[in-house]
A and B are shown apart, each in its own frame.
Chain A
């Protein structure tokens, strides 16, 4: 199996935020994200201050003990990346599932394009989406008629080479787990 798909399976954290995604890759991704602008608004974020502010809106509730002993408070460091992409949808409740399905397909296309050019990706849906959406609308970045729905941010960058890919810098813990808790029993082959 091509290494790209192994990389794709990981949610990388603690990206090197001193980097910038080159314009050529950014343009390629932007063109791909334009494929259905009647369904979504492509938003690409590279402003480091804004990205850190979004990261600050991703505090995991203290009651959540996922993977962590002692209920450690934390944020989703996969959001601290040189480039964040999200495709908020031109919302229609009747087409909500179709929209989520189509955006899922495009997220894979974007992520694998970046990976095949040597970059790494992460995904994060655990952020205060109303707060973030309102802020992006106030800033004129996000249209008033679009909606995050159940979409994550796609982050693109290189994780710090001195750390494992699942390293969460804010708490100093490697959050990578097994690829999937459930093995391949959900796939039947005949």
Chain B
């Protein structure tokens, strides 16, 4: 057994909440030492099983379990006479997600109403939309999906949900679905409409909202590339432990 595989085992034996994993771990072997980086993430977390009512409480629980794993590694190093260094970056307070979900829910009908009117106008003035047929029920579905994805990603500091929603504009075989130019145009208009109302957000959230929308449009046009998708719950939080051999 090498030091790296021992550490892998220590990490995997750390008690998990309801058998669920609260972080990603990277183990990097380097001359004379092994670096372990833990990043809290919801990637492996079954939220259907959680007892928590909000993302902040859930994230706190995940950070607690990440801390347990760090403590377990530290105890293992002490028990085996190994020297280690620890670097923490868990000092960021979570952005409050209060009101974001309810705001999107409250705006949904207005958003759909605006977009239906805008599409009707385009059908009479814009050649791109001359033959564009639409269904209000599908508008409702798509905007509900989109607003839910934005809410989740803004709350969690991820891009996963928006990327997955945008990727629905591509078929399973990697071909773009039909009407992509119209969809891009529609979402540009929706971005403009949302931007006008984004003063309800914290400035940082406004910037993140617009960045998420740019990502959304990018994926509609070009497809989802792995480098566009951030699965980490909050990619600024990490712990790195370097264990010396």
Contact = CB atoms under 8 A, between A and B. Distances in A.
Interface stretch (B51-59, B175-183, B194-202): B51-59
Interface residues of B, number: 57
Interface in B68-121: 68-72, 74-76, 79, 88, 90-94
A146 interface: no
A101 B90 contact: yes
Nearest to A93: B93
A97 B4 CA distance: 28
A115 B189 CA distance: 61
A2 interface: yes
A1 B93 contact: no
A57 interface: no
B60 A149 contact: yes
A87 to B, nearest CB: 10
A179 interface: yes
B4, B13, B25, B90: residue with the most chain A Cβ atoms closer than 10 Å: B13
Interface in A146-190: 149-151, 177-182, 184, 186-190
A136 interface: no
Interface residues of A, number: 47
Given A125-B17, A150-B60, A189 B8 contact: yes
Given A94-B93, A149-B60, A151-B64, A108 B20 contact: no
A84 to B, nearest CB: 16
Contact of B15 (A8, A97, A182): A8
A9 interface: yes
B32 to A, nearest CB: 16
A66 B61 contact: no
5 contacts: A95-B93, A149-B57, A180-B12, A182-B44, A188-B24
Given A150-B52, A189-B27, A109 B60 contact: no
Interface of A: 1-2, 4-6, 8-11, 66, 93-98, 100-109, 111-112, 116, 123, 125-126, 149-151, 177-182, 184, 186-190
A150 B79 CA distance: 29
Interface in B15-43: 15-21, 23-29, 43
The 7 closest A-B pairs by CB, nearest first: A104-B67, A108-B71, A105-B71, A150-B61, A101-B67, A100-B64, A9-B13
B150 interface: no
Contact of B25 (A103, A107, A150, A186): A186
A123 B15 contact: yes
Given A2-B79, A93-B93, A150-B60, A187 B10 contact: no
B60 A107 contact: no
Nearest to A99: B60
A5 B67 contact: no
Contact of B19 (A2, A100, A101, A181): A181
A22 to B, nearest CB: 21
Contacts of B67: 100-105, 107-108
Nearest to B93: A94
Contacts of A105: 67-68, 70-71, 74
B44 A104 contact: no
